[in-house]
Structure 1
Amino acid sequence: MRKPKNNLFRIDKRASLIGITVLLLICVASYFMFFNKKVSEDIEVEIIDITSLKLSILNGCGVKGAAGEVKDNILNNDFENVDIISWENVKSNKFIYGKTIIVVKKEDEKKLNYLMKITGIKRRIYAFNENTLEDFQIILGRDYRMYFK
């Protein structure tokens, strides 16, 4: 004897194929929308109103001509309001600096933030001296090429 056919559990192959295809397309579209979404960054152009930033560059790493090379790099990049007062070796020719550092001579957070932004140097020390000509010194360490290419 034959079993009677039960149409309740019979699946239409065509409908299931269409359903799986639609589900797959939704998954692929969701994937691309999620992972390939262009991040729209609201870029704030911060206009820093500073008068001239006076800077000295000191070679603290011992690489011959490093201070002059960095001076040329800064001048060639047309950073606004940056005046380089001097570039030379550190006093006593003590080339002990492994890391490049900013020495803050005059207290001005706007100028410091601007200098850190244009150079990428984050390390800084404070040695306030209102009698100096420069606002900041950059002492070049052995890693100076990371910041000035």
Structure 2
Amino acid sequence: MREKKILTSKKKQDFSKNLILNISILILIIINSFLAYSLVKTVSFNDSNDDVNLLKDSTKARIQIEVLNGCGVSGVAEKLTDYLRSNNIDVVNLGNYRSFEIENSLIISRNEKVKNAEIVAAVVGLDHQNIIQQINPDYLLDVTFILGKDYRNLIPLKKR
């Protein structure tokens, strides 16, 4: 009789162990199914070109520029800086040029990306003839904008 009780209790222990194991396996299967569904859903929705273009746009580097006042008129470099920043151009330095005798505004491309200088010229309405390239690896910016005495012809500084 005692042997029967031991066997019965052993069967109960085995049954409870198997039940816990089976429930754990079932929970893991449900979690894996959910993760697989999420993966398939994510991959199928990310095939659109809009997401790729959005990612490219968000990782684009902004044009870094310095604005130097070469005309000697107080406040115009600040106005130009505000305008450039409102057009998504990163003005990292604002100051005076070594001379206030610059007749025509000038854009200097400081690296091989002349396109950045052309973009700045288009934003302010400066002719592309006023762009020069002086590659200097010591400069950590893309463009230098030297504001000349012709500043009244630039879009952000035109008298209305």
Same fold (TM over 0.5): yes
In the aligned structure 1, how far is the partner of 2:147 from the partner of 2:115? 22
Are 1:101 and 2:106 an aligned pair? yes
Aligned with residue 133 of structure 2, among 123, 126, 135: 126
Unaligned 5+ residue runs, structure 1?
1-48
Task: Give distance in 2, aligned partners of 1:73 and 1:79.
Answer: 6
Larger Rg: 2
Where does residue 30 of structure 2 map in the other structure?
A: none
* Structure 2: unaligned runs, 5 residues or longer: 1-56
1:20-78 deviation per Cα after TM superposition (whole angstroms, max 9, x unaligned): xxxxxxxxxxxxxxxxxxxxxxxxxxxxx652100000000111122112112223xx3
TM-score (norm 1): 0.59
Once the two structures are superposed, what CA deviation does each residue of 1:3-25 show, in whole Å capped at 9, x if it has no partner? xxxxxxxxxxxxxxxxxxxxxxx
Larger relative contact order, structure 1 or 2 (CA cutoff 8 Å, min sep 6): 1
* RMSD of Structure 2 on Structure 1 (CA): 1.9
Per-residue Cα deviation, 1:72-98 (whole angstroms, up to 9, x for no partner): 2223xx313x1001111113xx11111
In structure 1, the residue matched to 2:64 is: 54
Pick from 123, 142, 149: which aligns with 1:142?
A: 149
Equivalent position of 1:69 in the other structure: 79
Q: Compute the TM-score of the two structures, normalised by the length of structure 2.
A: 0.55
Letter in 2 for 1:113: E
Distance 2:113 2:101 in 1: 28
Residue 129 of structure 1 and its aligned partner are, at CA, apart by 0.5
**Aligned structure 1 segments of 4 or more residues deviating by more than 6 angstroms:** none
